Amino acid sequence: MWISNEVNRGFPPDFKVKYRFYTQEEGGRKILPRQGYRSDFALEEDFLDTGIELRVIHPEFEDENGDLIINETRSVLESGNARMWIMFPKARAERHIHDIKVGLKGYFMEGPRRVAEAEIIEIIGLFKNPRAE
């Protein structure tokens, strides 16, 4: 059974996205991941530079009712909402707090490959969560 990052870390997610995994024909995954999936995240603007520096921001997926998926054997939805967690507090303060805004487009990344598209739909704890290691 999945234990939420909120319980483990003691604070809320940084933000929430609406996502859609690409089909295999679009260059996406063969199968949908399960809760605990550790993709990186990139904003659309990250691709404007010559070298992309991925953001260590991990998703935590909700079910069709907006509840956290706790069954680790169940695949996540092909499209839905995910709570996003910035994994390094120092990066939250130095980089992400300035860049992340509602309405921005982003991607779940597996190395250099985009496997899902996302749109930031809500800022939750980004400005209150820890900013030092």
DSSP state at residue 103: T
Residue 7's CB is within 10 A of a number of other CB atoms, namely: 9
Q: Compute the distance between CA of residue 109 and CA of residue 39 in angstroms, rounded to an integer.
A: 5
Is residue 9 helix, strand or coil? helix
Q: What is the pLDDT of residues 76-117, one digit of tens each?
A: 999 999 999 999 999 999 889 999 999 999 999 998 899 999
Each residue of 4-46: pLDDT tens digit?
999 999 999 999 999 999 999 999 999 999 999 999 999 988 8
> Where do the H-state alpha helices sit in the chain?
5-9, 89-91, 97-99
DSSP alpha helices (H): ranges in 2-132?
5-9, 89-91, 97-99
CB-CB contact of 83 with 62 (8 Å): yes
Q: Up-side HSE of residue 50: CA atoms within 13 Å toward CB?
A: 0
Beta bridge partners of residue 119, listed in sequence order: 18, 105
